[in-house]
Amino acid sequence: MNKPSTLFQKLSEECDDISLQFSLKDTIVKNIESFYHYGTRRIAFLFYCIEWSAHIEKSKGAVPQAHVNKNSKKLNLNLAFQDLNNPDIAEIKELNLTFSDWTYENVLRGLDEFFQYYLLNAFDLSASLNFSNKEIKISQIYQGILKEKDFERAGLKERLNILEKDFGLSFKYKEEVLSFNNVRNVLSHHDGYVRAGDCNNNYIEIFWLAHAVKARRRDTGKLVPLQRLSYLDTNKYDELKFDFFSKQRRRKFFKHDRIKISEGDLREICQFYLLVLNTFQESLCELALKNNYSVRSFSEYRLSEQISAE
């Protein structure tokens, strides 16, 4: 059977005098929201992974209960190459820390990969806006298929450039998401070790926007950055002040370093990616409205990337 692209190429050569018209209104209106909800569910799942991993890391030698002998209360981890019989607490803690590092790395990779998948859907939707309810030639469909294939093969930077150039979908957090994409490539291909070819000025860097949170002293009214406090003493502090996404956070990894992301940083990065998703989704909705599609206002279903003081 001919592939769709081959079939449309043949048809464009033989029948391009025929005009076609597609009605994609219902599909576009439905998909523009469903892809957003898919994205927020993915971010929520990755945040859930952080929560579980942090719980295991901070526990006092928590072990997988399925492997505990109920009679002897001993742990027996049956591995392909050895039996780890009744390991001591130090060995368990080391395994738990390694598990947390692995989880955090995969969460960071997952954020980048989900966003790239979201951009594929954004491209399809944007291209559909140009085809729906208009007379088009078969050759135009064929050229659209070729452009989609080029988009799939493109890297993240080129994808963002294509969306801006072809559909006017500008994006103000481009440099931030590109920094995560660079680190994702190191995690995927070099087991997280930074090589000379990965570096700019001898290091690779990630950066994102984070909330600045300050506690107000009861006696003086002075605002103190929350991260400076080992714990929040409500006898001394009476209020938290949030400046949402007002602070740029940066982390550098030098040549030969192994990339490690802390739990706290990763929580902020997940929140930042929700801001990224919201910003792009808003532009996508505006594009649909500009093309006379009756999509719901994004404000009606937008998830807040802010946090409360509760």
Q: Rounding to the nearest 10 degrees, give the CA dihedral for residues 164, 167, 173, 175.
A: -20
The model's pTM is 0.81
Cβ–Cβ < 8 Å for 36, 281: yes
Structural domain contains residue 150: yes
Residue 177 in any domain: the answer is: yes
Look at the chain and report how many structural domains it folds into: 1
Residues 6+ apart with CB under 8 A from 47: 267, 270
**pLDDT (0 to 100) of residue 2:** 46
Residue 105 belongs to some domain of the structure: yes
Domain that holds residue 137: 4-192+260-300
Residue 218 lies in a domain: no
Instruction: Indicate whether 115 pLDDT > 70.
Output: yes
pLDDT in tens, 184-232: 999 988 889 999 999 988 899 999 998 888 888 888 888 888 777 877 8
pLDDT at position 128 over 70: yes
Please report whether residue 237 resides in a domain: no
Position 203 scores a pLDDT of: 93
278 in a domain, yes or no? Answer: yes
**Across 262-275, average pLDDT:** 92
In angstroms and rounded to an integer, the radius of gyration of the C-alpha atoms of the chain is 25
Residue 241 lies in a domain: no
310 confidence band (pLDDT: 50, 70, 90) = very low
Q: Does any domain span residue 220?
A: no
